[in-house]
Amino acid sequence: MAAPQKSVVISCAVTGAIHTPTMSPYLPITPAEIADGAIGAAEAGAAIVHLHARMPEDGQPTQDTEIFRQFLPKIKAAADVVINLTTGGASTMAIEERLQPALKLKPEVASLNMGSMNFGLYEMIPRYKKWQHEWERPYLDGSHDRIFKNTFSDIAYILESCSGNDTRFELECYDIGHLYTAAHFLERGLLEPPLFIQSVFGIRGGIGPHPEDVLHMKSTADRLFGDQYLWSVLGGGRNQMGVATQSALMGGNVRVGLEDSLWIGKGELAKSNADHVFKIRGILEELGLEVATPDEARKMLDLKGKNNVNF
């Protein structure tokens, strides 16, 4: 079983491929907005910021490293925060395209989904009556019949391609089988401890957000990885704060942010990523828990440091 932690690591997912621009006017789209969102989250108490990029003109997800370079140096200069870049991109992208930011920019952390899965976003469609850009509704509707592809070969390709970068991977586990996949790559020597396990709850196609699901994820990870991992969770949509609170009470870490939920309360849109960080930080502190600094997170995860990245 993983050793108890003295403080809780807050990660913040600033903008992602799941939500579209018209779903909230507060979702960061342009490089300047993404930078400001990440810096605000860091100032609110996030030790890690998880970053995607978008095309500034219409908000489509992109893995163009030149767009990442338009906001990464600004974040690095303004905030002592661990930067975590996506290798997920969007489910419509090929693996080679999704790899580029982590490969070329060599961040301290990069996300990596531990398997292929159905990823249903179509249930969002009835909530919105008009769309700002032509790509948005077809993108959501297409998830009826779209698989997010990350085969064993894809995972090995990403790990082997980045093996010389000293990048630690945030292993996104949407179901119990994904934990076993992480254990498989640990046994193969393509992953090294401490593993950063990010358990994801409440996405259509993955494990549900019930408290027993959270317990099952944690007990399985404890059995597979013992003291060789750091556990964190995220809950999709309205499950965000409940799942995060349960994780903290179990000795785990938390991820919040506008990528995972646009809402701060029932019927109330979050106006910034900092709103989410302030809210979960308040909950943690009311529970008598301390919030980890970026340097404490670096020590927990054995990261290479912010000066050893390529941006």
Q: For residues 3 and 80, which has the higher predicted lDDT (pLDDT)?
A: 80
Q: CB under 8 Å to 267, separation ≥6 — which residues?
A: none
Q: Helices 211-225 & 240-249, crossing angle to 10 degrees?
A: 50
Domain count, the chain: 1
pLDDT tops 60 at residue 113: yes
Predicted local confidence at residue 129, as pLDDT: 83
Residue 1 in any domain: the answer is: no
The string of pLDDT tens digits covering residues 229-248 is 999 999 999 999 999 999 99
Across the chain, what does the average pLDDT equal? 95
Predicted local confidence at residue 71, as pLDDT: 98
pLDDT tops 80 at residue 19: no
The tokens 């070969």 sit on which residue?
153
* Mean pLDDT to the nearest integer, 132-155: 93
Question: What range does the domain containing 41 cover?
Answer: 7-308
CATH number, domain containing residue 236? 3.20.20.70
* Mean pLDDT to the nearest integer, 136-154: 94
- CA separation, residue 185 to residues 100, 189, 206 (Å): 21, 6, 20
The tokens 């592809």 sit on which residue?
149
Q: For residues 22 and 311, which has the higher predicted lDDT (pLDDT)?
A: 311
* Residue 173 · residue 199 · CB < 8 Å: yes
* Mean pLDDT to the nearest integer, 132-141: 91
128 pLDDT band, cuts 50/70/90, is: confident
3-state secondary structure at position 77: helix
Q: For residues 5 and 217, which has the higher predicted lDDT (pLDDT)?
A: 217
Q: How far apart are CA 303 and CA 286, in angstroms?
A: 29
Residue 2 in any domain: the answer is: no
- CA separation, residue 161 to residues 129, 155, 165, 301, 311 (Å): 43, 10, 9, 21, 18
Residue 19 in any domain: the answer is: yes
Predicted local confidence at residue 1, as pLDDT: 52
Lowest mean pLDDT among 19-23, 117-121, 281-285: 19-23
Q: Helices 176-187 & 211-225, crossing angle to 10 degrees?
A: 10
